[in-house]
Amino acid sequence: MKKYDNKSNVIGNLIKEYRLKKKLKKSEVCRKLQLHAIYMDPTELNRMETGRMIIKDFELIGLCKVLEIDYDDLKNSIE
| pLDDT tens figures, 7-61 | 788 889 999 999 999 999 999 999 999 999 999 999 999 999 999 999 999 999 9
Beta-carbon neighbour count of residue 2 at 10 Å?
5
Sign of the dihedral defined by the CA atoms of residues 79, 76, 15, 39, in that order:
negative
Claim: this prediction has a pTM higher than 0.95 = no
Contact 12, 48 (CB under 8 A): yes
Judge whether 74 lies within some domain. no
What pLDDT is recorded for position 2? Answer: 46
Q: How far apart are CA 33 and CA 39, in angstroms?
A: 7
Judge whether 36 lies within some domain. yes
Tell me the three state secondary structure of residue 4. Answer: strand
**Residue-range definition of the domain harbouring residue 33:** 12-67
What pLDDT is recorded for position 5? Answer: 64
**1 pLDDT higher than 50:** no
Judge whether 3 lies within some domain. no
